[in-house]
Amino acid sequence: MEQTQGKVAVVTGAGSGMGLGMARAFASAGMKLVLADVDVDALDRVVTELRDGGAEAVGLRADVSQLDQVEALGRAATENFGALHVAANNAGIGIPTSTAKMKLDDWRWIIDVDLWGVIYGVHVFLPLIEESGEEGHITATSSMAGLIAAGVMGAYNVAKHGVVAMMATLERDLRARHSNVHASVLCPGPINTDIGRNSAQLRPRAQGQPPRDPATRGAETGKVAASIEAALASGMDPDEVGRLVLDSIRKDRFWILTHPHWTRALQKQLDAMNDDGRLTRA
């Protein structure tokens, strides 16, 4: 999809982090934007920033775990700009918790947002993109956790593996029927975002409560949470991720990897299948 000027894009989770990076990159490429987030204040700031920079953008509060709210994003694209060409299903959450101790409500919440949010996005946005009759692209944000199942991230790993499987299947299906749309999956490593803090605040049973101190989460979980937060703090700039996604859309690349050297850990897990059969530490 080489031509981006004047094309219409939807970005979920656009209020901060990688979604904001994508919104900025798409705006710089001349796209018209429908931006979504559950944080209305953050979303309003982003829309104002991009409009002040000359972009055409509208913002809509949307919880991607709710089909009707994702459908509203599709309508916003066609009603405001007449079509849809690009969809970035990016919104996501994650709470480090021991798999054995994770509450069923947390399993449902994480999978509803991280996996069902993408399922709903493909269900709603793909037909609209194909109806444009022009080249289009649909991408989804997974993670290296969608390729390597690290400890204490059970629900997140399950959801992100599902996103990789879904988008890989979708791309093959699109090619088989000669669609005008390509698919891709973003598998980022450490990115300097506030996903940990935002997830803790959005967690349904933590609404209105101050974020928990990592030290109170149990020894194993607290250690992993602190490690993740430290890695994110020194991670890649989200704006760089946005530019990488834009470049991949233009070149119709399926795999979007921010830290390609991390695939060595994946290779170790594959090698274990033909070795002693034991999982190695990622």
Question: In this structure, how many other beta carbons lie within 10 angstroms of the beta carbon of residue 273?
Answer: 8
CB 96 within 8 A of CB 18: no
Give the torsion through C-alpha atoms of 206, 101, 143, 148, to 10 deg. 170
Output the six-digit token pair for 264.
């060595």
Q: What is the CA radius of gyration of the chain?
A: 18
Letter string b/e over residues 29-45, b meaning 16 or more CB atoms within 10 A of that residue's CB: bebbbbbbbbbeebbee
β-pair type (136-141, 32-37): unpaired
Active site residue 120: no
Which member of 10, 113, 156, 161 is catalytic? 156
DSSP E strands, the chain: 8-12, 32-37, 57-61, 86-89, 136-141, 181-187, 255-257
Output the six-digit token pair for 36.
């979504």
In the chain, the N- to C-terminal Cα span, in Å, equals 35
Give Cα separations from 167 to 1, 176, 187, 188, 255 (angstroms).
17, 14, 12, 15, 10
Give Cα separations from 131 to 128, 138, 178, 263 (angstroms).
5, 14, 14, 36
Residues catalogued as catalytic = 156
